[in-house]
């Protein structure tokens, strides 16, 4: 199936062969983690054993502070394969009907929900009611109203809700954020985000309004939304947007093909972004300030992330994103660590509020003001 995950993998493999990526990342992860670890370990079950769930599971093999201990799927053959591959015991495996029983399982601290967007709300709320911490893949829901329900349910259950924003832990991304916060780039004027690829199989869930909540914006455009916010370091106060649809058969009502959108920020900075399912090779961030700039391409692929600033190349070592993400999420959940860029439910909700506003602006042709 042609999906964002396929696209991100192929895009980042264009410069260097993928086998080298794997070997390189594994070696660096090994060097990074060769010190003995005696801290707390987050015991994680993954819900949704598809391509990205498998990617996360593979990455967790290198984790020291997080361990894959459970699996949840509606497909028995997948569960059996995961049991054999990752050594997951039968008592830690569930299906979508009975996973509420995880409440009585001390082998699982958190559940990472990696299912279609439209299922996240109900599944995360059930996780919370079972007394387990929830990690939701992004986008965390199909609209802001659902996201709010998820946040409130987790607060009520006194469990943490995190969102799978792997880029918030990526070294080169954090270096650009450091340059901006330290004042090295001066006053920020402009951000550009380009996120897109040509999607394949027209029957896949990402083109199903009920399951996806939209089209390209939910799947790939969210990277530019989130990137604008963490690169500029502010929350937008207005949105404008324009939608283009060239194939109404493939991209049915409520499933966006291409949207250009603009955001304005309190300091006067502006962002101009593109989200599309009809153009390949779009994975670029550009940040401009009075004293300097930062350009990243690829900016959100699986890595390595490449880029340059007015001071030179961005070349911090690549470590598998999902490995770093799960290590950091363990520290957040078990040790109260505060990340440079938040990955909590409120962070995910902010993106959903903006997506709602983009859809409204594209539909009405009007500027939408945000509180």
Q: Are 191 and 287 contacting, i.e. CB atoms less than 8 angstroms apart?
A: yes
Which residue is catalytic, options 43, 132, 138, 306? 138
Q: Are 357 and 239 contacting, i.e. CB atoms less than 8 angstroms apart?
A: yes
- Same domain (yes/no): 153, 251: no
pLDDT in tens, 218-276: 999 999 999 999 999 999 999 999 999 999 999 999 999 999 999 999 999 999 999 99
Q: Are strands 282-289 and 293-296 parallel, antiparallel or unpaired?
A: antiparallel
Phi, psi of 209 (to 5 degrees): -55, -45
Is residue 205, in this structure, part of any structural domain at all?
yes
- Same domain (yes/no): 194, 136: no
Annotated active-site residue 96? The verdict is no
Q: Are strands 66-72 and 42-47 parallel, antiparallel or unpaired?
A: parallel
What pTM was estimated for this model as a whole?
0.92
Q: Which of 143, 166, 189 is the last residue of a domain?
A: 166
- Same domain (yes/no): 93, 236: no
Q: Which of 116, 144, 166 is the last residue of a domain?
A: 166
pLDDT in tens, 156-180: 999 999 999 999 999 999 999 999 9
What is the average pLDDT score of the chain?
93
State yes or no: pLDDT of 115 exceeds 80: yes
CATH number for position 118:
3.40.50.720
Domain count, the chain: 2
In whole angstroms, give the CA distance from residue 196 to residue 189. Answer: 24
- Same domain (yes/no): 86, 187: no
Which residue is catalytic, options 52, 94, 223, 286? 223
pLDDT band at 25 (very low <50, low <70, confident <90, very high): very low
User: Which pLDDT score is estimated for 371?
Assistant: 85
Exposure string of 55-89, with b = 16+ CB inside 10 Å and e = fewer, is: bbbbbbebbbbbbbbbbbbeeeebbeebeeebebe
Annotated active-site residue 138? The verdict is yes
Q: Which of 166, 199, 226 is the last residue of a domain?
A: 166
In whole angstroms, give the CA distance from residue 154 to residue 366. Answer: 35
């Amino acid at each position: 199936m042609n999906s964002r995950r396929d696209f991100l993998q192929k895009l980042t493999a264009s410069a260097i062969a993928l086998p080298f990526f794997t070997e390189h990342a594994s070696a660096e992860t090994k060097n990074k983690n060769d010190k003995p670890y005696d801290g707390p370990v987050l015991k994680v079950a993954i819900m949704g054993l598809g391509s990205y769930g498998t990617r996360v599971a593979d990455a967790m093999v290198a984790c020291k502070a997080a361990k894959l201990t459970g699996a949840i799927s509606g497909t028995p053959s997948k569960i059996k394969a995961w049991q054999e591959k990752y050594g997951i015991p039968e008592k830690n495996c569930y299906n979508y009907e009975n996973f509420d029983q995880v409440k009585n399982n001390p082998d699982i601290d958190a559940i990472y929900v990696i299912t279609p967007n439209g299922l996240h709300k109900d599944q995360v709320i059930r996780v919370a009611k079972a007394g387990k911490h929830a990690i939701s893949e992004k986008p965390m829901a199909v609209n802001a109203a659902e996201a709010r329900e998820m946040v409130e349910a987790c607060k009520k259950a006194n469990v943490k809700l995190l969102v799978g924003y792997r880029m918030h832990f990526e070294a080169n991304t954090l270096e650009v954020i450091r340059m901006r916060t330290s004042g090295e780039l001066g006053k920020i004027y402009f951000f550009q985000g380009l996120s897109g690829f040509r999607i394949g199989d027209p029957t896949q869930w990402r083109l199903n309004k009920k399951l996806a909540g939209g089209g390209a914006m939910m799947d790939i455009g969210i990277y530019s939304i989130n990137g604008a916010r963490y690169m500029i370091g502010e929350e937008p106060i207005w949105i404008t947007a324009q939608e283009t649809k060239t194939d109404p058969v493939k991209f049915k009502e409520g499933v966006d093909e291409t949207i250009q959108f603009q955001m304005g920020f309190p300091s006067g900075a502006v962002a101009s972004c593109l989200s599309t399912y009809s153009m390949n090779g779009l994975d670029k961030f550009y940040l401009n300030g009075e004293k300097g700039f930062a350009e990243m391409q690829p900016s959100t692929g699986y890595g390595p992330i490449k880029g340059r600033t007015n001071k030179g190349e961005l070349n911090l070592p690549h470590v598998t994103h999902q490995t770093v993400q799960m290590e950091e999420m363990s520290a957040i959940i078990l040790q109260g660590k505060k990340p440079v860029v938040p990955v909590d439910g409120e962070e995910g909700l902010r993106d959903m509020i903006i997506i709602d506003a983009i859809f409204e602006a594209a539909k009405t042709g009007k500027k939408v003001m945000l509180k």
